[in-house]
């Protein structure tokens, strides 16, 4: 299973969770989408996936395929959230020749919390902390997001930017090379913590009262601690993601 191909969906899920909370639509949605994301690992082809979309949003709870949040209001425009999220990173040793002789790197599960703010002038601001609770990477992640929805009669355009810090335990698990994994062409590698900057642009078009079309493009930088890994493509400085699809709301 090429788990590393899905890492970009985490960014999208974070943005969707923040926006969904503030809008508080209180509905269930099911749909279908095409998802494409680059991978930084060597010898892995970029692919497009057709995947189901399942979502639930209410005043106090939101749920997507990779993430669930419970929201507690602090004031009329601020709330805190308890978060549970899948970390869809990693690889199997048979995914490509790059990983031959490596141990598998598994999907993890994180718990954490966020502080969120919204008003019409500033948009959405969110500061989030997540920690692995499955003893997979035993790592931590801190993210900050700004998103500004521009709403029309049917079309909503949302530009956003984010910063993300990941601990050395997390980066080492997914990009490090242990001493028992060293070969003649792959040296040992123990990276430190890493930071990423990125941005996204999403468009949501309300086709009918129940059907919404969605699309998003995103791009992000790669930290030197990731780029210097012998598992990562040479001269790989950026990654990207793209999605398009529809959701039917009940």
The CA distance from 116 to 71, in Å, is: 10
Distance, CA of 148 to CA of 30 (rounded, Å): 25
Confidence of residue 123 (pLDDT cuts 50, 70, 90): very high
Quote the domain boundaries for residue 60.
Answer: 3-249
**CA 247 → CA 4, 21, 207, 210, 211, distances in Å?**
25, 17, 10, 8, 6
Q: What's the total number of domains in the chain?
A: 1
Kindly report the average pLDDT of the chain as a whole number: 89
CATH of the domain at 65: 2.40.160.40
**Cα distance between residue 218 and residue 82, in whole Å:** 25
pTM: 0.86
How many other CB atoms are found less than 10 A from the CB of residue 250? 8
Question: Rounded to whole angstroms, what are the CA distances from 161 to 38, 95, 145, 181?
Answer: 18, 32, 6, 37
pLDDT tens per residue, range 135-175: 999 999 999 999 999 999 999 999 999 999 999 999 999 99
Q: Quick check: 82 and 62 in contact, CB under 8 A?
A: no
pLDDT in tens, 231-248: 999 888 999 999 999 999
Beta strands in 15-103, from DSSP E residues, in sequence order: 27-37, 48-57, 61-64, 67-75, 78-87
């Amino acid at each position: 299973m090429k788990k590393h191909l899905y890492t970009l969906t985490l960014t999208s899920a974070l943005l969707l969770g923040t926006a969904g909370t503030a809008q508080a639509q209180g509905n269930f949605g099911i749909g279908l989408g095409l998802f494409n994301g680059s991978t930084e690992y060597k010898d892995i082809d970029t692919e497009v996936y057709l995947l189901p979309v399942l979502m639930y949003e209410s005043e106090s709870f939101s749920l997507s395929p990779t993430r669930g949040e419970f929201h507690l209001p602090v004031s009329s425009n601020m709330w805190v959230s308890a978060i549970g999220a899948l970390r869809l990173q990693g690889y199997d040793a048979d995914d490509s020749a790059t990983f031959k002789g490596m141990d598998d790197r598994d999907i993890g599960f994180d718990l954490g919390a966020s502080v969120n703010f919204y008003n019409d002038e500033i948009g959405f601001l969110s500061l989030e902390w997540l920690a692995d609770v499955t003893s997979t990477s035993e790592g931590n992640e801190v993210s900050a997001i700004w998103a500004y929805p521009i709403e029309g009669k049917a079309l909503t355009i949302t530009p956003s930017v984010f910063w993300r810090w990941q601990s050395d335990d997390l980066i080492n698990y997914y990009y490090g090379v242990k001493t028992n994994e060293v070969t003649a062409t792959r040296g040992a590698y123990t990276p430190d913590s890493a930071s990423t900057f990125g941005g996204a642009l999403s468009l949501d078009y309300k086709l009918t009262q129940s059907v919404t079309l969605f699309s998003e493009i995103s791009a992000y930088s790669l930290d030197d601690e990731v780029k210097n890994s012998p598992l990562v493509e040479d001269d790989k400085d950026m990654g990207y993601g793209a999605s398009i699809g529809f959701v039917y709301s009940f």
